[in-house]
Amino acid sequence: MNPKPFFSGSQLKWIAIIAMFLDHTAKIIRFQPLINGALPYMTESNQLFAMSQTIFPLFILIGRLAFPLFCFLLIEGFVHTSNPKNYLMRLFLFAVISEIPYDLAFSHQFVNLESQNVFFTLVIGLVVIMGLDKFSFTSVKNSFFSLIIITSGIFLAEWLQTDYGGWIGILLITILYLFRRSSLLKCILGGLVLLQNSWFGLFAFIPIYFYNGQRGKQWKYFFYWFYPVHLLVLFAIQQFLVVPYLI
């Protein structure tokens, strides 16, 4: 089945960025954890709290669209890059840069080893598909090595506790890569993997299915820098504007 192309790579990135931003806004600028004893004046009659209870769940729901889109774009980036090693190093660099903003935003600590940001998931996923590209499933020996690579990637992500982990993140990247030539099959199988996390995330496969194969306008480093910068901005808003207002 050949879908009619519509979405460019740039458009998919913007959808993912907006969805991620809404999700993080709801999770970082939150009010519920501040109610129990810490902020006695923050009650359900407070307009700000009431609004958040209505809007923030919707933001989090929309946010489920982001990760499958980023996984798909990772694979497109790998398939079309002229230098996979540079691509890997760039992702790893921003994984390191983003870790402190991520920890500050979600745990209010400079370093929190209990979870790692999503760039680390993408880095491990990229290493896995680089290995699959080298060995593929063309022979029994290569199939064995490919399974070892996939399994190692899954358990490494689980051990590091990266965002979306191995059984969702790495497995989804693997599925989207292995079935990248079939628009329908990769969406169906990818959707089955994503159901471990969210049913709404399945809607991300609609624009993936109608991807037109074009990169679109490039905002290369903007998309890389957006992740750590927006986490810092949201953390600052939560700490210096929201909390003082509530107190």
pLDDT tens-digit profile, the chain (247 residues)? 555 678 999 999 999 999 999 999 999 987 654 444 444 444 544 666 666 777 889 999 999 999 999 999 999 999 999 999 999 999 999 999 999 999 999 998 999 989 999 999 999 999 999 999 988 777 888 889 999 999 999 999 999 999 999 999 999 999 999 999 999 999 999 999 999 988 999 999 999 999 998 887 877 789 999 999 999 999 999 888 776 655 5
Q: Which three-class secondary structure string do you get for 48-80?
A: HHHHHHHHHHHHHHHHCCHHHHHHHHHHHHHHH
Q: Give the integer Cα–Cα distance in Å for 167 and 154.
A: 6
Within a domain: 2: no
Within a domain: 174: yes
Within a domain: 137: yes
DSSP-derived letter for residue 7 is B
Within a domain: 150: yes
- What residues make up the domain containing 13? 9-246
Provide the number of structural domains found in the chain.
Answer: 1
Within a domain: 29: yes
Within a domain: 238: yes
- For the chain, helix (H) and strand (E) counts, in that order, are 11, 0
pTM of the model: 0.89
Q: Which of 84, 72, 196, 187 is nearest to 134 (CA)?
A: 84
Q: Give the integer Cα–Cα distance in Å for 238 and 25.
A: 9
Within a domain: 4: no
